[in-house]
Structure 1
């Protein structure tokens, strides 16, 4: 069958959301909680470029899409696949590869070097499709969730830590604290682009910022939890985590932490000790756009 591919416009969003719901109705992870405003804001956070994103059509029906985000990532112009969805009866026809091939020349033209995406490790069909399109696995992520009844309050916290709200400008100064690059959706640039509410709490000792936590209420997610290298092992992360858990306890049934690099054993130990449970693993995959397909 001959399918039509086209670049999208922001005016297509209502149709995209409807197709998103159809495509993710049987997804490994329940996506039914995502409403129209939530997805729209998430794509703003991810810096989706509609005119670089692709829709695939069967006559007048949108049957699949690939939403492309762009940014300077690790020092280079980079793209990120914020979402690829294909309605169930159109899967297995190579449509993912067709959309990637369709967008590739446009990305090359503007100097994009790599295209990244994330995929659940149990989604073997999607992984196979992405590998066929030329993607390679570059990192492993773990995801966790806490229900408040399972929260283990710490035996002790850092009583000297003063916690107060800070701005994105404040945490931008802390980029050298990262031991590993956050995933695209958890980056400081993504935090800055959040169009709705975000909570950024800084921890101070004697007036100096020594740690911070970013919480995004719309997705009930801790996006970043970071401590200055010279202040670690002083229960600063434990204290910040306890503060945000207590702060939102009456507003949500649970808190998620997504895309922790599996090499970060200290953060994983912190979360596990607090009662967070492992939910899924994800692969970060990358395609070298600079090379010809």
Structure 2
């Protein structure tokens, strides 16, 4: 008989094997350090994460991050998984249902998650649990060696240099869409030392920026002032990211499908669309 309880007493060394086994069939595998970094960035809270145990072994789990989203205290599903031998028993749904009173008691007013669109079974389960689709996302991934930048020379009137998070936070008018949970400023601040922030300046004024995690190859944010687009700034920023990338690939996870300009930008630089996700929300 499985018991469900908080993960606040579960060590990371016991969590990692369960995570690896649950996601063993996924195309992209992550190692222990990558999982640790991912959980930190996404605000993982063991106290408000829950799992099912059989004979003291974690067999199903939901790892929750806690933070602000659209000015509301939010629980974010950083990862839900079940070991293969225990699937088909509705464990993930039971863990979610049992966790709600604890989350509400902690002042959490909504639950947020992302799910691959082709995972129709999971989408169906979440809809039955009361989630609704709030946005649709693309994700782009390309081996670094296969990226083909547009041949567009940046004018000498622009200067590319490192900048600060504060400067990026002051440039939200550049955005075409609000970043997803894992790409938000709050997420970036949790692991700020892992990121490089690069800006494009014209007459000492920021006109474009990108926020990049070299160890994972992840482009968290890239934005250019609407007054300075189609002048090669985005491609110049991308070129700088490629120079400092330490990963074998480069990726942009969770760009809004409705934003045609970002889709065209990545495809023009041969960073290819690999899949789509739903962002889903449930008020608690």
Common topology (TM > 0.5) = yes
Deviation by residue 1:203-253 (Cα, 9 ceiling, x = unmatched):
1111111111111122211111011233223322122112222443xx443
Counterpart check, 1:99 vs 2:98: no
| 1:181-202 CA distance string (max 9 Å, x none) | 1111111111111165211111
2:250 to 241, 245, 255: 255
How far did residue 152 of structure 1 move? Answer: 2.4
- 1:139-194 C-alpha deviation (Å, 9 max, x unpaired): 11111122344332322232222111122222121233322111111111111111
TM-score w.r.t. length of structure 1: 0.91
Tell whether the 8 Å contact from 1:96 to 1:129 is kept in structure 2 after alignment: no
CA contact (8 A) 2:197 2:210 kept: yes
What is residue 28 of structure 2 aligned with on the other side? 30
CA gap 1:30/1:148 in 2 versus in 1, 3 angstroms: closer
Equivalent-residue separation in structure 1 for 2:175 and 2:192 (angstroms): 24
What is the distance in 1 between the residues matched to 2:9 and 2:33?
14
Give the CA deviation at 1:275: 0.7
Equivalents in 2 of 1:246, 1:41: separation in Å?
22
Work out whether residues 195 and 212 of structure 2, in 8 Å CA contact, stay in contact via their aligned partners in 1: yes
Checking the alignment, whether the CA contact within 8 Å between 1:221 and 1:257 is kept in structure 2 is: yes
Cα separation, partners in 2 of 1:195 and 1:21, compared to 1, 3 Å: farther
Which whole-Å CA distance do the structure 2 matches of 1:63 and 1:237 have between them? 44
| Conservation of the 8 A alpha-carbon contact between 1:42 and 1:194 | no
Task: Write out aligned runs for 1:74-223 (5 A).
Answer: 74-159=70-155, 160-194=157-191, 197-223=194-220
For 1:210 and 1:201, how far apart are their aligned partners in 2? 11
Runs of 5+ unmatched residues, structure 1? none
**Which range moved further: 142-151 or 84-93?**
142-151
Structure 2 unaligned segments of length 5 or more: list them: none
CA distance in 1, matches of 2:36, 2:183: 17
Contact kept? 1:4, 1:59, Cα under 8 Å: no
Q: Is the CA contact (8 Å cut-off) linking 1:63 and 1:90 kept in structure 2?
A: yes
The 3-state SS of whatever aligns with 2:149 is: coil
Match 1:47 to one of 43, 47, 53: 43
TM-score, scaled relative to structure 2: 0.94
- Inter-partner Cα distance in structure 2 for 1:178 and 1:71: 21
SS of equivalent residue, structure 2 residue 11: helix
